[in-house]
Amino acid sequence: MAKHNQASLDTSSVSNSTPLYTCSDILGVAYTEEKALALLQRDNDSYQAYLGFEPEHQEKLLALLMGKRGLAITYDTFFKHVMNPDKNPERLERFLSALLSQKVKIRQVLPQTGNKLAEAGTLVIMDLLVELADSSIINVEIQKLGYYFSGERSCCYESDLIMRQYNQVKAERGKHFSFRDLKPVCMIIIMEHSARVFLDAFPNYIHRQQITYDSGAKVTSLFKTIYVSLDIFHAVVHNISNPLEAWLTFLSSDDPEQIVRLVNAFPEFLDCYQDIVKFRTNPKELILMYSEALLIMDRNTTQLMIEDMQTTIEQLKELSAQKDDIIAQKDDTIAALQAEIDRLSKSNK
């Protein structure tokens, strides 16, 4: 796979007379490490939680508080905070419009919790779930690590959404209900580190599902799935020149120089970064959200390891079965040869 490169921005459209934002305008005035630590020490519980983080995560938090780096919002909790459709619906609308290549308007935010996947299973919990003005439903998921069995997972989530919609619409319309009343549901999965199945599709970084029939029959499907591979995006895109590429950069980059170029080319992102910078005045909330994000990461990593081991077990079982087949074939061959030897021996007597 190609080595990742920092994407740059085409700022040729920015007028020379336009005042440019600086790093301090976007990420705040730089603090010393001592002052950043003093902010954390205001609340002892938060500071103790910070001390319990791995050095890598301590460094990222300090850099954010010092104004040296931004925050890549591929952490689940921060993604929900910045893109919260209850507080800032226009942000999610702009992102969806760029990704779907059409203007979208959020009608309402839906409950994130759905049905159980099994009697003793866990609930289906969505990240951001909204209904658009055309009554279609969109669920946006953020993943630090792309899951195994991506397609199977998406089908389960989409099936849950369709059944929730079916139950609601049928209850509202009663005997006048028609399946024509059901609208598409769309799963959008954004991955910081893509699952292998998407890395194999390099250099494509957006994967849009297309359902067709070999006969050419125009059969309507309610399922729509879009996967976004941020790691592949950073590997192949070096000159950001449109809103979608700008959004993918915003979601995944914490590099100050890149952030400054992004905001000067697309000033609409300034309020998003200022929302993140507010954590410098409330480090207790920052630590709380970061702790939750790391908890989710650990849980997802554990699940990934379990699935990885399950996949390895299945592969070993398959190899074992193949070995058994080879042994059986050898036994058959030996038996056949022995029978031939016996026949020849008898004929020589």
Concatenate the DSSP letters of all residues of 64-94 into one string: HHHTS----TTSHHHHHHHT-TTT-HHHHHH
CB 246 within 8 A of CB 208: no
Structure confidence at residue 210 (pLDDT): 86
Confidence category of residue 99, pLDDT binned at 50, 70, 90: very high
CA 338 to chain centre: 61
Position 91 pLDDT exceeds 90: yes
Q: Do strands 106-109 and 128-132 pair parallel, antiparallel, or not at all (unpaired)?
A: antiparallel
Position 348 pLDDT exceeds 70: no
Per DSSP, the three-state class of 6 is: coil
- Least confident segment among 131-135, 188-192, 237-241, 307-311: 307-311
CB 160 within 8 A of CB 116: no
Global pTM value: 0.76
Tokens of 268: 């609409």
- Least confident segment among 86-90, 107-111, 145-149, 296-300: 296-300
Nearest-5° angle of CA 153, CA 158, CA 161? 135
CA 205 to chain centre: 12
Please state, in angstroms and as integers, the Cα–Cα distance from residue 11 to each residue in 8, 235, 236, 271, 273, following that order: 9, 20, 19, 19, 19
Its sign, for the CA torsion 160, 193, 249, 22, is positive
Q: Do strands 123-125 and 128-132 pair parallel, antiparallel, or not at all (unpaired)?
A: unpaired
Structure confidence at residue 2 (pLDDT): 39
d(CA 321, CA 299): 33
d(CA 216, CA 210): 13
Structure confidence at residue 120 (pLDDT): 39
CB 294 within 8 A of CB 272: no
Question: How large is the average pLDDT for residues 194-199?
Answer: 88
CB 271 within 8 A of CB 38: no
Structure confidence at residue 14 (pLDDT): 47
Tokens of 92: 């999610």
What does pLDDT average to over the chain?
83
Q: Which residue has the tokens 């499907």?
A: 221
Tokens of 205: 């970084």
d(CA 280, CA 126): 29
H helix and E strand count, the chain = 13, 10
Nearest-5° angle of CA 99, CA 114, CA 97? 15
Position 10 pLDDT exceeds 70: no
Position 344 pLDDT exceeds 80: no
Instruction: Give the closest residue to 91 by CA, choosing from 289, 294, 288, 266.
Output: 266
Tokens of 264: 């000067």
Structure confidence at residue 304 (pLDDT): 58
Position 299 pLDDT exceeds 70: no
Question: How large is the average pLDDT for residues 75-91?
Answer: 90
**Does 121 or 50 have the greater pLDDT score?**
50
- Least confident segment among 21-30, 155-164, 324-333: 324-333
Position 5 pLDDT exceeds 60: no
Q: Which residue has the tokens 């006048």?
A: 176
Position 243 pLDDT exceeds 90: yes
Structure confidence at residue 262 (pLDDT): 94
In 89-136 the beta strands, taken as DSSP E runs, fall at: 106-109, 113-116, 123-125, 128-132
189-223 in b/e form (b: 16+ CB < 10 A) is bbbbebbeebeeeeeebebeeeeeeeeeeeeeebb
d(CA 79, CA 76): 5
Structure confidence at residue 117 (pLDDT): 46
DSSP label at 250?
H
Instruction: Give the closest residue to 57 by CA, choosing from 298, 250, 270.
Output: 298
Angle between helices 44-51 and 33-40 (to 10 degrees): 120
